[in-house]
Structure 1
């Protein structure tokens, strides 16, 4: 398999992963909406409400588990796709939208996982968040401001859970959905352009050079 064929395969994999990403994103958003019917963003009540979802709400445990799995899986898939785009050397200007949307989507997916750590209000999430607040506060100039935005200006409390819940459910989630749609559309458009160039024989010069047989030199 020559370089051009390898690049085409990697581009197809990029397209497939884009479909997987938007599918996982929509599943995560849907299960998140279903969980919000019973979840209570309050200190103490958050843990109890999730326990009720897992034990008393019909299929609640399934939606909760699906929400957790999709949240973790979409980060892994997004990172793999960025690596594949890099390996396939997609550095042309036409890939700029795909690169920007893909990278920012990956950051949004990581942000969703980060903001979710305190929403369960368990011991592990509480102390992890408490430690990371110290790291955030150490950031020069804006550290204290960011900490106040996240906590509500005091200790970790119900206000903190509500702030993180709002950031998680409305700000980052909507951003992630928009970015996943933009990313998929940009990758599909590039796939169509590639097919069109193959059919018309108007491949970029770099691809034409790669298509020449190795024994054609000399």
Structure 2
């Protein structure tokens, strides 16, 4: 029997999955709009974002929505984990929902990390340099990963281009795909659970009558 608590958690999980998909689409769409004016170069990144904020009509709004959607995507994903945990959805059939949400959160964190250098300001530049040193300290693969990200011996236009490609094309596509998978998997599982309980209820009533 579906309790009031189970019903509320189920409804909340569905609402959150819709919100997560909406946020991922909003981040992707606003990212595309920003890409019309953004210049992924060491010199042009800062000035192009300044132009977007101050000169392009509603550019400040699009940029704010892009940042807000990316941050809220991570927050809502973490809340969804808590809701699924409280709902005790630990069965094997829920693996798609769990993994899609976990990797979606990681994709959102990765998108935020790759965006740190795209502003090309002092804070983002030195933060990237520090975290790049942490990556290089990873045994076996650290230097290779750092070399791929940097694209040379120093942080240059190539580095900005690499991070822009990861941020705009790879991680955004992954986030939207995982958000769709998460929503669809939850809807399918909810429907199958309802059908199972509808089948069990007549059987229980027949057993009690006999």
Category of TM-score, reference length = shorter chain: over 0.9
Q: How does 1:136-155 map to 2 (within 5 A)?
A: 136-155=135-154
Counterparts in 2 of 1:123 and 1:3: CA distance versus 1, 3 Å: farther
Ranges in structure 1 where 5+ consecutive residues have no aligned partner = 204-218
Kept after mapping to 2: 8 A contact 1:112/1:168: yes
Q: CA deviation at 1:84?
A: 1.2
Aligned mates of 2:50, 2:160 — CA distance in 1: 17
CA distance in 1, matches of 2:175, 2:128: 22
Change (3 A) 1:151 1:202: farther
Which 5+ residue runs of structure 2 have no aligned equivalent?
Answer: 203-210
2:97 matched residue in structure 1: 98
Q: Distance in 1 between matches of 2:16 and 2:116?
A: 26
Q: Tell me what 1:209 maps to.
A: none
Contact 1:147–1:153 under 8 Å retained in 2: no
Q: Distance in 2 between matches of 1:9 and 1:92?
A: 19
The equivalent of 1:216 in structure 2 is none
Q: Show CA shifts across 1:162-210 (max 9, x none).
A: 000001111111111111100010011112123323333359xxxxxxx
CA distance in 2 between counterparts of 1:22 and 1:124 reads 31
Q: By how many angstroms is 1:41 displaced? A: 0.3
Please name the residue that 1:214 is paired with: none
- 1:3 is displaced (CA, Å) by 8.7
With normalisation by structure 2, the TM-score equals 0.92
Q: RMSD of the alignment, in Å? A: 1.6
Report deviation, 1:143: 0.4
Q: Do residues 117 (structure 1) and 116 (structure 2) align?
A: yes
C-alpha deviations, 1:96-128, integer Å up to 9, x for none?
Answer: 110111111111011110110100101111111
TM-score, normalised to structure 1, is: 0.89
**Residue matched to 1:21:** 20
Aligned residues: 202
Task: Say yes or no: does 1:132 pair with 2:131.
Answer: yes
- Contact 1:71 1:109 (C-alpha < 8 Å) held by counterparts: yes
State the alpha-carbon separation in 2 of the partners of residues 110 and 8 from structure 1: 31
Distance 1:83 1:6 in 2: 14
